[in-house]
Amino acid sequence: MSASSSNPILSEHLTQVAATSSQRGVPSWAARSYGRMLAHYYRLLVPETASVLEIGCGAGDLLAQLPNRDVEGLDLSASLVEQARAAVPHGRFHVQAGECLTLDRKFDVIILSDTLNLVGDVQEVFSRLHSVSHPRTRLILNFQNQLWRPLLGIASFLGLHRAPAVNNWLSRRDVINLCQLADWEVICHRTTILCPLPLLGLERLINRYLSPLLQIFGLAIFIVARPRPARAGHTESVSVVIPARNEAGNIEAAVQRTPRMGARTELIFVEGNSTDHTWREIQRVQAAYPQLEIRILQQPGRGKGDAVRAGFAVATGEILLILDADLTMPPEELPKFYAAVTQGHAEFANGCRLVYPMEKKAMQFLNMCANKTFGLLFTWMLGQPLKDTLCGTKVLRRTDYETIVANRAYFGDFDPFGDFDLLFGASRLNLRIADIPIRYRERTYGTTNIQRWKHGWLLLCMLVFAARKIRFV
């Protein structure tokens, strides 16, 4: 029995929505402009290779503007579904309500674009979406900011906006709460589109540069969520990549102190242009511990980012971990990162040095200020809380890393540190990022490879570049 047939109130609502939807005329020039703006953001959020389902697809306007080939859509209006089939000939479309969803397949991305305002039972729709979702599915939805209600009323009076006969005005908090009630975990949210109307080209400048700074006033609220993961642990294999430059005194300690995790643990040392005997020490340690899986190589280029990419390229584990060879991040804490990813708490685990007290000389005052500043800026830019972006320890699944690599061209291959390449890529894939607090220690051997002012300036340039790609778009 469908939800609508068992609930006469819901059935009446769906009948009313279907009737009013069928009466829609040709979209106004203002509506078409707004639709193009929404499509621009969806192209940023939806991977091109993803299978896509849109609930409330209307005439297929949004799906027609996405490059994805595997698309399906639902709508209550039979006439709009026919228009969608004509607009998107490679897609599949069904006359169906989200509350009565009966499709027999799973999708990578599910879209609800300006649809919640017409839904009779939002929680029921969110709950039914689990039947067409797999653990890696992303739910992406947008709805209109309540602050715009008076302006949209005026626009409707002037004929610039066609207000639906049935309209829910949900707040951001309302939608997040409904997601949680239906077992969807919100990953991030943002508000955008400050100027929804063509304005002699000025609307592009306003939406690109002012909207990220005045988010509270944006028209469109976007939310990205994932199915609430199961909390059962797994025994996935692990690759620990250890970039090492002038770290001869730390190599054996890294082997001795790194716990064995999952089904198996391999250690991958990547030596990078050392001026001491680091490479000889790595070779000696590999021979001294034949019972362990230790792989060694010398990086082809320069910089930690190049070393990380070289290590990940040869890794065979299902879970990829980065451990800095200076051991300021205690290797004994790596199981926390492994558990966060394998138990579903995160899809990208990021080390955080700024929660627990650290040893006196572990981090200089200016470095502390810079780390906290970058944390605040990244939190704003990525839409997810990040307290410490510069900690070298990052953990993710190899399948996610391979997807990041496949989409690396969007940001470019210029990150010499490796940390931001991964963070930017994880954000673009809408991965759930979580900080893992660790106790930061002083070095016991060697000196830092960080050049404070030079690298600080480079980090700032990278942040500005990424902001143009993520926020100011």
427 three-state secondary structure: helix
Flag the least confident range among 56-70, 96-110, 141-155, 288-302: 141-155
Looking at residue 3, its pLDDT comes to: 53
Q: Give one DSSP letter per residue of 317-340, joined into a string.
A: -SEEEE--TT--S-GGGHHHHHHH
Element (H, E) at 52: strand 52-55
Q: How confident is the model at residue 1 (pLDDT cuts 50, 70, 90)?
A: very low
233 three-state secondary structure: coil
Whether 192 has a pLDDT exceeding 80, the answer reads yes
Residues 6+ away with beta carbon under 8 Å from 93: 57, 60, 72, 73, 74, 75, 81, 84, 85
CB atoms within 10 A of CB 300: 10
Average pLDDT over residues 325-333: 92
Looking at residue 251, its pLDDT comes to: 97
Average pLDDT over residues 201-219: 90
Task: Please give the domain boundaries of the chain with CATH numbers for all domains.
Answer: 3-227 (3.40.50.150), 238-470 (3.90.550.10)
Per-residue model confidence as pLDDT tens digits over 118-161: 887 888 899 999 999 999 999 999 999 988 888 877 877 776 66
Average pLDDT over residues 100-129: 92
Q: What share of the chain is helix, strand, coil (3-state, %, to 5)?
A: 45, 20, 40
User: Do 88 and 32 meet the contact criterion of CB atoms below 8 Å apart?
Assistant: no
Looking at residue 85, its pLDDT comes to: 97
CB atoms within 10 A of CB 339: 17
Flag the least confident range among 10-14, 92-96, 383-387, 429-433: 10-14
More confident position, 171 or 89 = 89
Looking at residue 456, its pLDDT comes to: 67
Q: Say how far apart CA 195 and CA 208 lie, in whole Å.
A: 10
111 three-state secondary structure: strand
Find where tokens 């340039």 sit.
461
284 three-state secondary structure: helix
Residues 6+ away with beta carbon under 8 Å from 325: 242, 243, 244, 245, 247, 250, 251, 254, 269
| Burial state string for 202-211 with b = 16 or more CB within 10 A and e = fewer than 16 | ebeeebbeeb
Amino acid residing at 3: A
Q: Say how far apart CA 82 and CA 87 lie, in whole Å.
A: 9
Portion of the chain with pLDDT greater than 70, in percent:
87
More confident position, 159 or 443 = 443
Whether 406 has a pLDDT exceeding 70, the answer reads yes
Per-residue model confidence as pLDDT tens digits over 213-243: 898 899 999 999 999 987 655 689 999 999 9
Flag the least confident range among 7-21, 275-289, 381-395: 7-21
Whether 262 has a pLDDT exceeding 80, the answer reads yes
Looking at residue 130, its pLDDT comes to: 96
pTM of the model: 0.75
Question: Which residue stretches of 213-356 are H helix?
Answer: 251-257, 278-288, 304-314, 334-342
Looking at residue 160, its pLDDT comes to: 63
Phi, psi of 253 (to 5 degrees): -60, -35
Going by C-alpha positions, the residue among 311, 352, 305 that lies closest to residue 449 is 305
User: Do 389 and 419 meet the contact criterion of CB atoms below 8 Å apart?
Assistant: yes
Residues 6+ away with beta carbon under 8 Å from 463: 374, 377, 378, 381, 420
Amino acid residing at 241: V
More confident position, 381 or 297 = 297
Any idea what DSSP says for residue 110?
Answer: E
Portion of the chain with pLDDT greater than 90, in percent:
53
Going by C-alpha positions, the residue among 431, 423, 439 that lies closest to residue 390 is 423
Per-residue model confidence as pLDDT tens digits over 338-349: 998 998 888 999
Per-residue model confidence as pLDDT tens digits over 274-317: 999 999 999 999 999 999 999 999 998 888 889 999 999 999 99
Structure tokens at 410: 């969007």
327 torsion bin: left (phi>0), alpha (psi -120 to 50), beta (else): left
Average pLDDT over residues 168-173: 84
Any idea what DSSP says for residue 231?
Answer: -
Average pLDDT over residues 420-442: 87
Element (H, E) at 371: helix 365-382
Any idea what DSSP says for residue 68?
Answer: -
More confident position, 101 or 19 = 101
Any idea what DSSP says for residue 165?
Answer: S
282 three-state secondary structure: helix
Looking at residue 7, its pLDDT comes to: 60
CB atoms within 10 A of CB 97: 27
